[in-house]
DNA sequence: AAGATTTATCGTATATTTACGATGAACGAT
DNA sequence: ATCGTTCATCGTAAATATACGATAAATCTT
């Protein structure tokens, strides 16, 4: 992103852009769907369902966690990930707000 | 993105991820809002309202155009940009669909 | 025709993203 | 205590993204 000038934008636009960035890879969209369909699950379970290595999936999980869209809970040597519905609700709300502003529909 | 494995995902997830990528910068969200508030406008008009150089704004416009969220019409030496409501509607619809799948709200 | 205006593109620098294998850290099981 | 399992992190490579100034291309104005 080089030396980005993001400070010059509103907090709302920056937050939404950040959420959009987290959604900007099909693997991460897939992960959210997987977590929903299984309610919650271990990393290994997610890796199985994606055409990516364990380390790459771990990075995608980290990105989703960074923006708060998912939570990870340590369970022995495993880690159980799940959707963070609070952040997701907020994301939906803000996204709807954006569309209500810019969309004629 | 290195050598991305995006071929292994569904078209829907890839399309949505691509739309999200286009929204993944506050300047581009701002541009969509500006285009809405002014209905349509020239590049210079947009540049005025952003803390970015003309060439950088031009790149952001190109990214929005790439995914079809905006259209540009040449008008003399100027170019008039406007929202593409068709793509935007589809984006909203697909985004809603995603949220309806993954969101408990 | 010459000059001004407008915008896209080029060239460039730096940061970030995506991917992988290898390694390390934490835990459970033997 | 050692071994296997699970996952994050490190190191690395290549592609993209972001930003800018400079330049080119197209069009208006004079």
Sequential pLDDT tens for chain A (105 residues)? 445 555 589 999 999 999 999 999 999 999 999 999 998 899 999 999 999 999 999 999 999 999 999 999 999 999 999 999 999 999 999 999 999 999 876
State the pLDDT at residue A7.
Answer: 59
Q: Where are the domains of chain B?
A: 10-102
Residues B47-63: pLDDT tens digits? 999 999 999 999 999 99
Between CA A34 and C1' C19 the distance (Å) reads 21
Query: Is the Cβ–Cβ distance between B40 and B82 less than 8 Å?
Result: yes
Query: Is the Cβ–Cβ distance between B64 and B28 less than 8 Å?
Result: yes
The Cα–Cα gap between B20 and A7 comes to: 21
Q: Is residue B4's pLDDT more than 60?
A: no
Q: How many CB pairs under 8 A join A and B?
A: 113
Mean pLDDT of chain B: 93
The Cα–Cα gap between A36 and A43 comes to: 14
- Residues 24-63 in B having a C-beta less than 7 A from any atom of strand D are 24-25, 27, 51-56, 59-60, 63
Q: Which of A50, A60, A57 is nearest to A23 (CA)?
A: A60
Neighbours of B22 (CB within 10 A): 24
Query: Any residues with CB less than 8 A from the CB of A90 and at least 6 apart, and which?
Result: none
Domain at B10-102: CATH architecture:
Orthogonal Bundle (1.10)
The Cα–Cα gap between A65 and B50 comes to: 30
Q: Is residue B93's pLDDT more than 60?
A: yes
Closest residue to C10 (CA, C1′) = B55
Q: Which residue from A minimizes the CA distance to B6?
A: A26
Round the CA-based radius of gyration of chain B to a whole number and report it. 15
């Amino acid at each position: 992103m080089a030396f980005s000038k993001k400070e010059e934008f509103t907090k709302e636009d920056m937050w939404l852009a950040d959420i959009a960035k987290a959604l900007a890879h099909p693997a991460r969209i897939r992960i959210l769907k997987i977590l929903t369909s299984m309610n919650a699950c271990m990393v290994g379970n997610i890796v199985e369902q994606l055409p990516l290595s364990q380390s790459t999936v771990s990075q995608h999980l980290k990105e989703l966690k960074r923006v708060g869209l998912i939570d990870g809970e340590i369970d022995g040597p495993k880690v159980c990930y799940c959707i963070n519905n609070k952040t997701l609700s907020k994301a939906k709300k803000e996204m709807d707000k954006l569309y209500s502003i810019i969309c004629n529909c």
